[in-house]
Amino acid sequence: MSNRVLYMILRADLVTDLKWPLGAVFTQIAHASTACIWTYKEDPDVIAYMGELDRMHKVTLRVENEEQLLAEAKKLETNNIAHKVWIEDDMSVCIAVKPYSRDFIKPLLKHLPLYK
């Protein structure tokens, strides 16, 4: 069994300040994760992750706003972590991080809280 995980980082202000409906927010997560998987579809980690369709693991983390989201994207770029920033209505709304081994990627993201 794989220990790969796809992390998503989502802006909380989409719901709290901008009052987006939950369905629209959930759709952004789906867009980001699908775009990330497709972008890196030939990557060995993605192939292995998708090969265990019934055991895929995803984690959604929270940032407060677009500024924090873009700061996280910059950190990912600096660390050569493959990811996809999803843009909706000319705003960066969600990041999907390519599936990586949990042991590898978790230390880079552990400072972010779970989105609850």
pTM higher than 0.85: yes
Closest alpha carbon to 99 in 48, 62, 63, 29: 48
- Tens digit of each residue's pLDDT (9 = 90 or more) over 26-52: 999 999 999 999 999 999 999 999 999
The number of folded domains in the chain is: 1
Q: What is the CATH number of the domain that holds 74?
A: 3.40.1490.10
Please check whether residue 114 lies inside any domain of the structure. Answer: no
Average pLDDT over residues 5-12: 99
Confidence of residue 74 (pLDDT cuts 50, 70, 90): very high
- Tens digit of each residue's pLDDT (9 = 90 or more) over 89-101: 999 999 999 999 9
Cα dihedral across residues 33, 38, 40, 44: positive or negative: positive
Q: CA distances (Å), 62 to each of 38, 87, 116, in order? A: 23, 16, 8
Residue-number span of the structural domain to which 20 is assigned = 4-109
Cα dihedral across residues 107, 111, 115, 116: positive or negative: positive
